[in-house]
Chain A
């Protein structure tokens, strides 16, 4: 089983739609959770950290369910510029390393 699993998509949505991505992780001892964004042929960049109580950053909301080992990302009012691959990231078994999911592709169309 992979340490971090994501639905690869692609998710094709119209502008203005709300879209949600899910991610599961296998290491129950993981303490840190993130969403990174990667544009086509570019490097990954941190989108947001994910906190136990859930957190919001503008149109983006992240949730964590430790009991189910599940992380989600909700994007409201999708923009064309949101088109990218979204990587679910967890610190791995040995703490100092990040483990990246394979990514979920989002395509927002006008």
Chain B
């Protein structure tokens, strides 16, 4: 398996533009997580899905952020409109089982480095 795949790897955009980040989880993994990492706040969970259904989006910072998982092999994180404070590395991760159980290891994708000017 190729692991978790994310695209694009780098994105530079201007304030106000729409940004769409993409993720393909490891085949067979039922859990998908979106994280954001910054120097100031570290690694924060934004939202996670179980069997394509959003379970907890309490980490999504505001209405400008939305995430979807239309099928088991694809998820998107959208920011509209983007702001400079959204600049961060966005990671997607997947796992077989939820945290706290056997098979819980979360496998991270390489991340998307987003810069909003």
Residues of A within 8 A of B (CB): 31-32, 42-46, 87, 91-92, 94-103
Please name all residues of chain B whose beta carbon is closer than 8 Å to the beta carbon of A99 when the two chains form the complex. 45
How far is A43 from B109 in the complex, measured between Cα atoms in Å? 7
Q: Do residues B45 and A97 form an inter-chain contact, with CB atoms below 8 A?
A: yes
Q: Kindly report which residue of chain B lies nearest to residue A101, judged by CB atoms.
A: B42
B110 located at the interface, meaning its Cβ lies under 8 Å from any Cβ of chain A in the complex:
yes
CB distance from A24 to the nearest CB of B (A): 15
Name the distance in Å between A27's Cβ and chain B's nearest Cβ.
12
CB distance from A10 to the nearest CB of B (A): 14
Contacts of A91 in B (CB 8 A): 99-100
Assess whether B43 is in contact with A87, with CB atoms less than 8 Å apart.
yes
6 A-B residue pairs with Cβ-Cβ distance under 8 Å, sorted by A, are: A32-B100, A91-B99, A96-B31, A96-B48, A96-B50, A96-B100
Kindly report which residue of chain B lies nearest to residue A4, judged by CB atoms. Answer: B42
Q: Which A residues lie within 8 Å of B50 (CB)?
A: 96
Q: Are B91 and A43 touching (Cβ within 8 A)?
A: yes
A96 touches B55 (CB 8 A): yes
- B98 adjacent to A95 (CB under 8 Å): yes
Residues of B within 8 Å of A45, CB to CB, are: 108
Q: Which of B28-58 contact A (CB under 8 A)?
A: 31, 42-43, 45, 48, 50, 55-56
Q: Which residues of B contact A46 (CB under 8 A)?
A: 105-106
Q: Which of A92, A94, A98, A100 makes the CB contact (< 8 A) with B42?
A: A100
Q: Are A32 and B104 in contact (CB under 8 A)?
A: yes
Take A96-B48, A96-B55, A98-B45 as given contacts and tell me if A44 and B108 are in contact as well, using a CB distance cutoff of 8 Å: yes
- The reply on B111 being an interface residue by CB < 8 A is yes
| A98 near B99: Cβ-Cβ < 8 Å | yes
Residues of B within 8 A of A87 (CB): 43
Q: Which residues of B contact A94 (CB under 8 A)?
A: 56
The B75-99 residues at the A interface (CB cut-off 8 A) are 91, 98-99
